[in-house]
A and B are shown apart, each in its own frame.
Chain A
Amino acid sequence: MRRVLLLLPLILLLAMGVLFYRGLSLDDEVPSALVSRPFPAFELPSLTDPDRKLTQDMLKGEISLVNVWGTWCPTCYTEHGYLMELQNRGVVIFGMNYKDDTDKARQWIAELDNPYKEIFVDDGPMGIELGVRGAPETFLVDAQGVIRYKHEGDMNERIWQEKFVPLIEKIEIEQIRSGGQ
């Protein structure tokens, strides 16, 4: 009987192995579940002006990024400089301040500068809607407010050039075509 008990660690390991194996393949699955769906509806307060409510409608009209961040997230700090750089290049970025202390978040923006056009504050529900696994995450949203791509991890020049730029060009071409018809 005790021999069976000694097998317990092995069984635990195998269960974890299955989990990790799923984890390895999950990376590809997550975006596909959201891509091509409209950005989920929301009505959340603005970080800079808590009385003002922001909704998914603000995402419509032009191609934009929605960046999920928090002051508790070291990688967000690392990517912040690059977001500023993108803003300087004219990229529209919206921020979703995720599960954060809003005072700290305002300090962060004041101190590090603000790459975002608007920032909305979420305590968790929106993160679940969006399938946020950990900050930072960045969504590419087209002019109709439809999610076209999701990137997990920090934004940098390589990711931008390899993943975002080709897709943005494709979306722009689509728009010109549909506009022309």
Chain B
Amino acid sequence: MIPELGQLSLILSLCLALLLGIVPMIGSYTGHRNWQALAKPLAAGQFVFMSMAFLVMAQAFATDDFSVAYVANHSNSQLPLAFKLSAIWGGHEGSLLLWAYMLVGWTLAVAVFSGNLPRIMLARVLSIMGLVSTGFQLFMLLTSNPFTRLLPYPPADGGDLNPLLQDIGLIIHPPTLYMGYVGFSVAFAFAIAALLGGRLDAAWARWSRPWTIVAWIFLTMGIVIGSWWAYYELGWGGWWFWDPVENASFMPWLMGTALIHSLAVSEKRGIFKSWTVLLAISAFSLSLLGTFLVRSGVLTSVHAFASDPARGAFILAFLIVVVGSSLLIFAMRAPAVRSGSGFSLFSLETFLLVNNVLLVTTCAMVLLGTLYPLLIDALGMGKISVGPPFFNTSFVPLALLMALTLGAGVTARWKTGAGQYLLQQLKWVAIASVALGLLTTFIAHEGFQIRVAISMTLVFWVVLASGKSILNRCRHKSSLWVGLKAVPSAVWGMHTAHIGLAVAIVGVLMTSMYGVERDLRMEPGDSVELAGYTFRFDGVRPQQGPNYLSDYGTLLVTEEGRQVATLHPEKRMYNVQGSVMTEAGIDAGLTRDLYVALGENVGGDAWAVRIQVKSFVRWIWLGGILMSLGGCMAVLDRRYRMRVHARKTEMTDAVGAAARV
């Protein structure tokens, strides 16, 4: 009975979404105020019913209701409760439910937090989100109903969640990532609403900015968590594979990053507006493309859900309708006239333009690499696969060019900009960066390496230029401290995110250049030395987990006779699916990770063991965290908080006034 209530909620939510997509939109053209005003209650109602559907699903998982096909396929009575609940998004139908729920959540958030938007604009934004939501809920009900029952003979127990996914990483990775994907729908809705109203102005850019940044923060964290999860869960120390689905999350991120920068120009200088709108459409379109790629079976990937041609066809049609109609609106309504205000060659506008070109080029490169096998195949020119070498060789130079532009960009000023000024500002920064870059490669024990020298120079370039830019702001203040305190939080955020990029580059560079690994056969008592650490193998013993049996290894790590860590790599045999998973034993550190994975038993007490010392690997994720942190600081800036505050006072005034009457 209860699952049917879930399905009913879903249908009601779809009806409300459809109303939301139609009524306020028509109202915005006919001028019916109460039609426009319906947007908010409809968004709220949609959220209520979607929440009910989601809760029903959670209840079915928590109580092991295996009469629901989706629960039977993805959960098991032995599974710990936390994994039962996270199994909600462990498969296609449930993750779609989560996706739709989040979209509805974002819609509600826009309804609640956009009190200062003009009524018509708000009605259109919510209406557009309602249309997108309608598409997703239709998709769910027509092709992927999560509440389908296995009646009258439900299985006695479930098929269990893929062991790869029974991990804290899975509990948080997909929701975070989806929050980012879906969050771009807000920027998208703002862009389309602005196009429809013919109001591509600074106000539109200012409204879009915080929403875009919040979505971008989630997406950044989602990617970081995914990479970290792959690192410790897949068991061979890789952290990025250029897998099609990883690419599908990376492309919206690149576009979103470009969008954040482009929105800044549109807000401050009123230019690049058509470009910004196009980026907003692209970022969300690429999120939709990601959904299509994962769920249609067009590309094979570790992430791929069980594919079904009907689903693929539906998403493809949906994708073409949503993106096609927005691009058509774009072609008809975007300002075709070049904006009047010019800017000079060394101005901030130029550097942001270069930044955008680089980010979009990178995105196009990733898109090409991801779709190339499909393209060649469709043209009947044979079959190929594109591997990491293609992506690495094209990505690295682009990323380094971005770092180069970044240093100059944070120093340059709006509109006017003389090469002379930049030279004078950055002369010492450049000299110091090259000196420090060269110094790093000589300190590192393997002698001079040109790749390290260039990359580290650019890393120092970004950090020093950012530092210099902050100091410049403090120059005319009475003391450094007073100056630093006066720097707005948004500016701190920007620099934090930029330094995050530098930190991530250090991580990628050092891990690939100085990481070492050994594979060997070890018997209890055997020792091996690697990068100054001694690893002693203390054997493997069996251990019983909640729903698996584990071979639990122990390695003692010492450095110059001093104990550094005890590592416990494991091999887990999951009872229900009979699959074996490796859990790496990791000792994390700021400058290195000690990483041990257990292979097979190779006779007697001897085991195959893979030992890795991964230099600075944490910095990759630390960089991502700094970027997200920077985003948070930008969103929490006073100018956004003041608006909320102003609205609150307005509201209390209104309530007060109402009370007096």
Contacts and interface: CB of A to CB of B under 8 A. Distances in A.
A17 B320 contact: yes
B593 to A, nearest CB: 19
Interface residues of A, number: 43
A82 interface: yes
B580 A78 contact: no
B236 A134 contact: no
A20 B300 contact: no
A134 B298 CA distance: 11
A110 B337 CA distance: 65
Nearest to A8: B331
Given A10-B328, A112-B599, A133 B519 contact: no
Nearest to A5: B336
Interface in B374-396: 374-375, 377-378, 382-385, 387-388
A77 B236 contact: yes
Interface string B574-602: 00001110000000000000000001101
B343 interface: no
Interface stretch (B309-317, B420-428, B466-474): B309-317
Contact of B519 (A14, A22, A107, A128): A107
Q: Which of A74, A81, A85, A111 has the most CB of B within 10 A?
A: A111
A3 to B, nearest CB: 5
A6 B383 CA distance: 34
Contacts of B52: none
Nearest to B325: A10
Contacts of A152: 300
B373 A134 contact: yes
Contacts of B330: 6, 9-10
Q: How large is the interface on B (under 10, 10 to 19, 20 to 34, 35 or more residues)?
A: 35 or more
Interface string A102-127: 00000100111100000000000001
A91 B519 CA distance: 29
A77 B234 contact: yes
Contact of B323 (A13, A19, A107): A13
Interface in A1-56: 2-3, 6-7, 9-10, 13-14, 16-17, 19-24, 26-27, 30
B599 A3 contact: no
A38 B297 CA distance: 27
Nearest to B608: A111
B600 A113 contact: yes
Contacts of A87: none
B551 to A, nearest CB: 13
Contact of A10 (B298, B316, B331, B602): B331
A74 B239 CA distance: 11
Interface in B242-301: 243, 274, 278, 281-282, 285, 292, 296-301
B300 A133 contact: yes
B377 A10 contact: no
A13 B387 contact: no
B11 interface: no
B300 A75 contact: yes
Interface of B: 164, 230, 234-236, 241, 243, 274, 278, 281-282, 285, 292, 296-302, 304, 309, 312-313, 316, 319-320, 323-324, 327-328, 330-331, 334, 336-337, 371, 373-375, 377-378, 382-385, 387-388, 519, 578-580, 599-600, 602, 608, 610
22 contacts: A2-B337, A7-B331, A9-B327, A9-B330, A10-B331, A13-B324, A17-B319, A19-B378, A20-B296, A21-B316, A23-B374, A24-B296, A24-B316, A26-B374, A72-B241, A77-B235, A99-B387, A110-B602, A111-B599, A112-B599, A132-B383, A153-B304
Given A17-B316, A107-B610, A133-B385, 8 more contacts: A20-B296, A20-B298, A26-B374, A30-B383, A111-B519, A127-B385, A133-B300, A133-B377
